[in-house]
Structure 1
Amino acid sequence: MKSVSDKKVAVIGAGLAGLSAAITLQDAGCEVDVYESSDRVGGRVATDLIDGYRLDRGFQLINSRYPELLRLDVVRELNFVEASRSVDVCLDEAIVTLGDPRENPFAALNSATGSIFTKLRFIGYLTSTSKQGRSVEDELSQYGDLYQRVLKPFLSGVFLTSPANVDAVSGKEIVRSFISGKPGLPAHGAGELPKALAQRVRSIHLNTRIDSLDGLKADAVIVAADLTTAAQLLDIPNVPKLASSTTWYHEVPIEMTLSNRLLIDGQSRGPVINSIAISNMVPSYAPIRKTLLSSTTIEFASESEVRRHLAIMWGVSTSEWALIAKYEIPKSLPIFGLGKQGIQSAKVSENLFVAGDYRTAPSQNGALLSGRLAAQELLLN
């Protein structure tokens, strides 16, 4: 039987799960080869540079307090810019700010987003234990305006589906992470996170598609590819549902807003889930004297419908805005539906393991965690 240091392991996929698995295995003394079908690392976490704009492939914040990021001690390498801990809520023709009362104590007193009593009761929800078989909406609908006007539109952007479709137990962990975390972005885009992790991996083969596990010269294999590829390689019959999303990037007048906060529509008057002048938060996302707006939809919508809704939310004409790019992402996140089980064994068969956020939690932390757990189980095999 080979010792750990003699094991040669193949990792399929250089997304966050694959990179985490590879780092864990290397640290244990294994020889690791990572195979990635595309020309870059990161999977869904990527950033493009177009006409001086930095465009993440899908709006995504990175929570610098995620346990796996703390474990990897990687945030210090990212030139990290923290996001505001408040959100703006569009109600009728007004915009109301709501956030951490320690930073903005008066915002909590605004009854338009729910009574102060309701907001205090919500703190109790965060410290309570959720029941199996219920949805996030089942537990939060009791909070009235706070849920309908703030939490539901905000969480729809987090889960990329209605909170009614998300299991209460797994969903609460995501909610807690946003309340207690410190989200933000690297100055050069979300894609800097996987790039930094990839620097720690000794052998990554890009543009190398693996269509069969037969013939791989390895003592063990971790399949950390996207869910569709993993299902094909491992002959998985039933796969979790995946949420889709579209991110719209517009160049908007620099004087339109100075806000660096996420804007949501508390009255759900159109297809836009959230919108943010992302370059107000991270100035390097746009050329000097330009403003880049990032907006997200989760259902099919034409650009005219998106512009109409953005005009309502921002209270300005959108007809002259330039569309910089549109990213349609059909497999944005796994949906952890009602009764979704917790973390299970990563072992598929002897010397074959699987990793991915669809096995742990629909988040960057979930992807990193799944990769580490798969590697640790392999090492114990």
Structure 2
Amino acid sequence: MTLDDTEVLIIGAGLAGLRCARVLRGAGRDVRVWEASDVIGGRVRTDVIDGFRCDRGFQVLNPAYPELKHATDVSALRLQPFGAGVAVRREANSAVWVHPLRAPTKVPAMLAGGGLGPRDVVAVGRWAAAALRPTALKAEGRHDTSLRSALDRAGVSGELRRVIDRFLAGVLLEDEGVTSNAFALLLVRMFVLGVPALPADGMQALPRQLATGLESLITLQRNVAELVRDGSGWRASDGTHGIRARHVVVATDPVSAARLAGVAAPPMHGVVTDWWAADEVPSGPPMLWVDGRSNPPGPVLNTAVISAAAPTYAPAGRHLIAASALMAKDGRAPDESVTRSHAAGILGGDGTRWSLVTRHLVPYALPEQPAPLSVRRPVHTADGIWVCGDHRDTASIQGALVSGRRTAEAILTTAS
């Protein structure tokens, strides 16, 4: 087996690995990227099926992520935003809870519509106030607790509590409220500053843009089977091809990183997302919908008529609906007919004529982020392997991009 040589080998072409490669390449370093899959992007992928764009596990991109503007040309992504706020299925009707900073004139009507009273506003303000001030957010991190405990302490209850719980369950991919409250507030801050959106070409557009100019350095379908010391550097092999590198960066999912680099893998949350095509859909705002009822008749965390917010996701004259639910720890997922019925009920329609485009089961969708929040985990192991990914920073696109840059900058410091 012949061996190639490079200064830095990056294993994994997800967001963190691509960001790391771009920073290193921009500094003039010799870099190679090996990716086990047949396409770049890691967990951020888009399947195009019969003209429908279906992201692997429903994802959105928040343009308020600070690292995004440093890592990408956001305007080139041609973002299509959802409505600012959330639509709520109630016991007898539905309600739209608007983003108060983006639609202040609609706030009085929202409050008059029921479900939100002065006491609720005070309670949620008490909980979320720290998200608006960076210094307060840092202080919250020093006294971090679980999201559930923080909401209890603030007195958030009733329908408002159910909506917050279910909305955040769809973001955090856990419905027990055990996630770090400081992390939840970081996300709330991003929702305050930006409106989630979808790129015109699907979420895959993000890793594709990160890979621009790196195409000749990326080799697909190279699954590293062996990683061993080779003098002062490393030797990696997929059983057929080998490469020597002074530095190795493991930028894989946490489970693979544990195998290759010996770092502890955090517990992972799984999600199932169903995508349906329809000729007709219920009328309603182009928002994310959640079930605010006290006894929801199904497992759906959130649902949306995706094509209403992002027309490029469906062929002309057709509609695309998505709904997400949690996967059990043993990998089980609710039946598609169950999620379809629940999603249709949340949207206020009949899903019997929806046709399934695809179903995505993503068992390792998001690392657990427990309290107390640890924002910066080491990116260099005692054995000398570099590690990056959202499991080293925050469990988000922001965290993956920051981790990739942070690892590259550390390598440059070491190599200088």
What TM-score range do you get, normalising by the shorter chain?
over 0.9
1:337 to 362, 370, 373: 370
**How far apart are 1:174 and its partner, in Å?**
1.6
Question: How well do the aligned residues superpose, as a CA RMSD in angstroms?
Answer: 2.0
Query: Which residue is 1:188 aligned to?
Result: 201
**How far apart are 1:165 and its partner, in Å?**
1.7
Query: Which residue is 1:204 aligned to?
Result: 218
Query: Which residue is 2:321 aligned to?
Result: 293
The answer (yes or no) to whether the contact 1:89–1:95 under 8 Å persists in 2 is yes
**How far apart are 1:108 and its partner, in Å?**
4.2
1:227 aligns with 2:254: yes
SS at match of 1:359: coil
Q: Which runs of 5+ in 2 are unaligned?
A: 131-138, 229-234, 236-242, 328-332
Query: Which residue is 1:247 aligned to?
Result: 273
**How far apart are 1:120 and its partner, in Å?**
4.3
**How far apart are 1:358 and its partner, in Å?**
1.1
**How far apart are 1:342 and its partner, in Å?**
2.8
Give a deviation string over 1:130-189, Cα, whole Å, max 9, x none. 264511121123211354232111000000102512011222212221222232011110
1:375 aligns with 2:402: no
Deviation >4 Å, runs of 4+: none
2:111 to 109, 113, 137: 109
Aligned residues: 375
Query: Which residue is 2:169 aligned to?
Result: 156
Q: State the alpha-carbon separation in 1 of the partners of residues 193 and 150 from structure 2.
A: 19
Query: Which residue is 2:8 aligned to?
Result: 9
The answer (yes or no) to whether the contact 2:179–2:371 under 8 Å persists in 1 is yes
1:284 aligns with 2:317: no
SS at match of 2:349: coil
Query: Which residue is 1:3 aligned to?
Result: none
Query: Which residue is 1:354 aligned to?
Result: 387
1:307 aligns with 2:340: yes
The answer (yes or no) to whether the contact 1:118–1:146 under 8 Å persists in 2 is no
- Structure 1's 108 and 316: CA in aligned 2 closer, same or farther, altered over 3 A? closer
Give a deviation string over 1:279-302, Cα, whole Å, max 9, x none. 011111111111110000114311
**How far apart are 1:250 and its partner, in Å?**
1.1
- Structure 1's 275 and 357: CA in aligned 2 closer, same or farther, altered over 3 A? same
Q: State the alpha-carbon separation in 1 of the partners of residues 109 and 382 from structure 2.
A: 54
Give a deviation string over 1:275-329, Cα, whole Å, max 9, x none. 1000011111111111110000114311222233224212322222211111111
Q: State the alpha-carbon separation in 1 of the partners of residues 361 and 169 from structure 2.
A: 17
SS at match of 2:114: helix
Query: Which residue is 1:318 aligned to?
Result: 351
TM-score under structure 2 length normalisation: 0.85
- Structure 1's 253 and 107: CA in aligned 2 closer, same or farther, altered over 3 A? farther
Query: Which residue is 2:76 aligned to?
Result: 77
TM-score under structure 1 length normalisation: 0.93
The answer (yes or no) to whether the contact 1:93–1:315 under 8 Å persists in 2 is no
- Structure 1's 372 and 112: CA in aligned 2 closer, same or farther, altered over 3 A? same
Query: Which residue is 2:231 aligned to?
Result: none
Structure 1 stretch 305-314 or stretch 176-185: which is displaced more? 305-314
Query: Which residue is 2:125 aligned to?
Result: 123
Query: Which residue is 1:26 aligned to?
Result: 25
Query: Which residue is 2:180 aligned to?
Result: 167
**How far apart are 1:374 and its partner, in Å?**
1.1
Q: State the alpha-carbon separation in 1 of the partners of residues 112 and 221 from structure 2.
A: 53
Q: State the alpha-carbon separation in 2 of the partners of residues 288 and 272 from structure 1.
A: 27
Structure 1 stretch 321-330 or stretch 78-87: which is displaced more? 78-87
**How far apart are 1:370 and its partner, in Å?**
0.7
The answer (yes or no) to whether the contact 1:97–1:107 under 8 Å persists in 2 is no
The answer (yes or no) to whether the contact 1:7–1:30 under 8 Å persists in 2 is no
Q: State the alpha-carbon separation in 2 of the partners of residues 112 and 362 from structure 1.
A: 34
Q: State the alpha-carbon separation in 1 of the partners of residues 51 and 6 from structure 2.
A: 45
Q: How does 1:49-68 map to 2 (within 5 A)?
A: 49-68=48-67
Structure 1 stretch 268-277 or stretch 125-134: which is displaced more? 125-134
- Structure 1's 231 and 78: CA in aligned 2 closer, same or farther, altered over 3 A? same
Q: Percent identity?
A: 32
Give a deviation string over 1:72-127, Cα, whole Å, max 9, x none. 24212212212211210000131100021231323541463331343244334333
